[in-house]
Amino acid sequence: MPRCSSGSSELKLRAEPEGVPLTRAEQLRAEWPEIVRLARAAHVAHFAGMPAEAGWQSGVAPSGTLDELLTGLEQGRLRELAPQILSEDVPAEEHDDALVEVVTRLPGAVLLDELVRAGRAEFPLDWGGPWQVVLADGTTVDTPEVVASAVQGATNVPMVRERVSALCDRALTR
């Protein structure tokens, strides 16, 4: 029965007698685009867990969802997340700026994780530049930028909800 094995840059079929198992090395082979896709998805999932945990611990987002985080921001509860996401080493005079920066990135990670898991976004292999997130229609998206205005002001949350809803192709709850 033909089995897949890796050549230098493409998958090739090789014939083996039926019943001969693949070696462990053959089972683990993957091409670079697949490795990059899996590694970046795992990285994003890790960072998406941080705001979920902070939201749960603070009570701002009991289930840790993006919907709940946006509701918390709309209710002006940004500062309640600080003890869970900021190091105690952050100087008092830098506290507010650091909080806004971190809280802007974390909901962006939750959004990106949702897009990746739903198959609506991916990371193309690019050795020459920073990660890009490409949507199914070929456009790029900067997820922290999508949610940034919600962190800057509660009155911006409805607009962010609409944009997130369009990207995720689902309605956000309150």
What's the gap between Cα 153 and its chain centre?
Answer: 23
Cα–Cα nearest to 157, from 86, 74, 95:
74
Q: How confident is the model at residue 52 (pLDDT cuts 50, 70, 90)?
A: confident
Asked if pLDDT for residue 30 goes beyond 80, the answer is no
Exposure string for 77-116, b = 16+ CB within 10 A, e = fewer: bbebbbeebbeeeeeeeeeeeebeebbbbbbbbbbbbbbb
| pLDDT recorded at residue 88 | 86
pLDDT in tens, 143-163: 889 989 998 889 999 999 999
| pLDDT recorded at residue 32 | 84
Share of the chain above pLDDT 90, in %: 13
Domain boundaries defined on the chain: 1-30, 31-168
pLDDT in tens, 92-134: 899 888 888 888 887 888 899 989 888 888 888 888 878 888 8
Q: Which amino acid is at 130?
A: P
Backbone angles phi, psi at 138, to 5 degrees: 95, -5
